[in-house]
């Protein structure tokens, strides 16, 4: 009876802060499963096309295939996570495994998007002077570097994430247990810097220079003009989608860190938490649609897809 009264009091307090958000949180939690299934199918399809095509992958295709692999691993975590939580099988080992895969592949996805932007920048702004940097061997080394940094940036997840029992709701949750606030602030700053703000700066630099070159370039024919227009639209779409999906959550994270050493406003803390959850939902949705945004709209990928189908028929 007292537990029900406590839950009701908590619900009323949170409703007074910013309305009834439990409905929206429930909708997002329910949507994780179909979105993850969609992401698994699309990213697996991209990997099949790139891996089983008879021709070797170019540098952009190496980046996009690694991006699809990171998104595929990320999407595979959510059905498993839902199954574990539904049956209350959460343990510290499972918590560390799932959290490491989620955070690591989220970081790697941002890294591969940066490599795609740099490749586009070198191809359009410095097509001759930096041609060696666009070789497949350099692309593979860049991907190895991204995977390595993605793991190193999330070592704290392996150390400090644990399964914690919530006796009030009678469930076991996976959460971070840092020894002090300074550890929490340090790892949050490192994560935000290297997985969002630094990639955003690099992508913005590449985009601005690409748009400058395309605007000043004299078009020789209507086909060239259409190609440049598609390239401009694609680059802008990459940056715009990246900002829309991840910027709200990162701003909320920064504000939350600033509140660590100041008197807390409970309503503001809960609102920031909701914004971060919603931003994470947008990021997952973006990762599920990455094959469409960055690969499936490409003419080269469609050609490879048709050639693979012809290989299967023969």
- 14 inside domain: no
pLDDT digits (tens, 9 = 90+) for 240-263: 777 787 787 788 777 777 776 666
Is 5 inside a domain boundary? no
Q: Mean pLDDT of all residues in the chain?
A: 77
| In-domain check, residue 113 | yes
Please give the angle made by the CA atoms of 67, 108 and 301, to the nearest 5 degrees: 10
How confident is the model over 1-24, as pLDDT tens digits?
444 444 444 444 545 565 555 566
Has residue 311 been placed in a domain? no
Greater confidence (232 vs 251) lies with 251
- Write out the chain in H/E/C secondary structure: CHHHHHHHHHHHHHHHHHCCCHHHHHHHHHHHHHHHHHHHHHHHHHHHHHHHCCCCCCHHHHHHHHHHHHHHHHHHHHHHHHHHHHCCCCCHHHHHHHHHHHHHHHHHHHHHHHHHHHHHHHHHHCCCCCHHHHCHHHHHHHHHHHHHHHHHCCHHHHHHEEEEEECCCCEEEEEECCCCHHHHHHHHHHHHHHHHHHHHHHHHHHHHHHHHHHHHCCCCCHHHHHHHHHHHHHHHHHHHHHHHHHHHHHHHHHHHHHHHHCCCCHHHHHHHHHHHHHHHHHHHHHHHHHHHHHHHCCHHHHHHHHHHHHHHHC
pLDDT value for 49: 87
130 in any annotated domain? yes
Structural domain for 293, as ranges: 24-304
Assign residue 177 the CATH number of its domain: 1.20.1070.10
Q: Is residue 313 part of a domain?
A: no
Specify whether the CB–CB gap between 200 and 238 falls below 8 A.
no
Indicate the number of domains in the chain: 1
Confidence at residue 296, expressed as pLDDT on a 0 to 100 scale: 66
pLDDT in tens, 174-191: 788 888 878 878 888 888
Question: Looking at the predicted structure, is the pLDDT value of residue 54 above 90?
Answer: no
Question: 195: pLDDT confidence band, cut at 50, 70 and 90?
Answer: confident
Rounded distance between C-alpha atoms, residue 300 and residue 64, angstroms: 12
* Residue 121: inside a domain: yes
Q: 16 in a domain, yes or no?
A: no
Q: Give the pLDDT band (50/70/90) at residue 140.
A: very high
- CB-count exposure of residue 149 (10 Å: 0-12, 13-18, 19+): middle
78-125 confidence digits (pLDDT tens): 777 777 766 667 788 888 888 888 888 888 988 998 998 898 888 888
């Amino acid at each position: 009876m007292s537990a029900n009264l406590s839950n009701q009091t908590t619900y009323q307090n949170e409703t007074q802060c910013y309305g009834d958000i439990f409905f929206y949180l429930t909708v997002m939690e329910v949507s994780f499963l179909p979105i993850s299934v969609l992401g698994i199918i699309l990213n697996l399809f991209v990997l099949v096309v790139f891996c089983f095509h008879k021709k070797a992958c170019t540098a952009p295709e190496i980046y996009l295939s690694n991006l699809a692999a990171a998104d595929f691993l990320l999407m595979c975590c959510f059905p498993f996570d839902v199954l574990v939580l539904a049956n209350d099988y959460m343990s510290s080992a499972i918590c560390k495994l799932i959290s490491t895969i989620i955070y690591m592949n989220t970081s790697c996805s941002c890294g591969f998007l940066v490599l795609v932007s740099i490749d586009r920048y070198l191809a359009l702004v410095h097509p001759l002077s930096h041609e060696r940097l666009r070789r497949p061997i350099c692309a593979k080394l860049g991907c190895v570097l991204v995977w390595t940094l993605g793991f190193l940036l999330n070592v704290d997840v392996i150390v400090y994430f644990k399964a914690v029992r919530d006796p009030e709701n009678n469930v076991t949750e996976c959460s971070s247990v840092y020894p002090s606030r300074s550890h929490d602030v340090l790892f949050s700053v490192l994560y935000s810097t290297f997985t969002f703000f630094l990639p955003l700066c690099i992508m913005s630099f590449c985009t601005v220079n690409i748009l400058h070159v395309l605007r000043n370039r004299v078009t020789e024919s209507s086909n060239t003009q259409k190609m440049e227009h598609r390239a401009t639209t694609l680059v802008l779409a990459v940056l715009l989608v990246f900002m829309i999906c991840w910027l709200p959550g990162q701003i909320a994270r920064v504000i939350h860190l600033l509140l660590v050493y100041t008197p807390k406003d409970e309503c503001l803390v809960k609102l920031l938490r909701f914004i971060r959850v919603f931003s994470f939902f947008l990021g997952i949705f973006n990762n599920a649609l990455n094959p469409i945004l960055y690969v499936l709209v490409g003419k080269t990928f469609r050609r490879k897809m048709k050639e693979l189908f012809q290989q299967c028929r023969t």
